[in-house]
Amino acid sequence: MNNKKDEIMNATHCFTIFNQAIDAYHVTDDVDAKLNNSHKGIDELLYHKCWIDTVQWHLEDIIRDPNINPTEALVIKRRIDKSNQHRTDMVEKIDDWFWNYFGSKNDLNCGKINTESPAWVVDRLSILALKIYHMQEQVDRKDSDAEHKVKVEKKLNVLLEQKEDLSLAFNQLIDDVMEGRKYMKVYRQMKMYNDESLNPVLYKK
């Protein structure tokens, strides 16, 4: 086994970094809290990615307040739109890292490709880490009744099962590319709504 594979990113490591970001955010639980990321390399990207997701998770909660001021809601909606673009940009940076990491191991002639790139699986893992954190939060609530607790415990168990399955699928994907059984291909998202030359609402003004 070469040194590169010894250093390979796996799902367990991803969740470790994600949980650090989620825990750090909840120290203040403030969507305006400053990102403090001391990680380097791929860990810096993973931490930053999950921080973006965590802040956006709470922005999505805030905007659903039925009594929110419409002006404030519009400001938050614009912020969520910007966050979505930032999230996509970060995923593409993570895919760049994987592309460079696999290097010559990425055999484009092997004939098998995955439905999504490694970084988009990482994106799903990050969101899953947030779902698990907040579902556990619901399980631990002191102001809810027994029926609520049973309901959310069932949901938490499904999320934990999904974590096991998705982690296995991610690890298998990484191994498959490293061993030449699959190849990685990247398609940029090319989102149109933020592009003034592609969104008709913007370019017709």
* pLDDT for residue 8: 56
* pLDDT for residue 1: 33
* pLDDT for residue 5: 44
**pLDDT tens by residue, 29-51:** 999 999 999 999 999 999 999 99
* pLDDT for residue 48: 98
* pLDDT for residue 181: 95
User: Which segments in the chain show pLDDT lower than 50?
Assistant: 1-6
* pLDDT for residue 6: 42
CA distance 81 to 92: 17
For the chain, the structural domain boundaries read 3-199
pTM of the model: 0.90
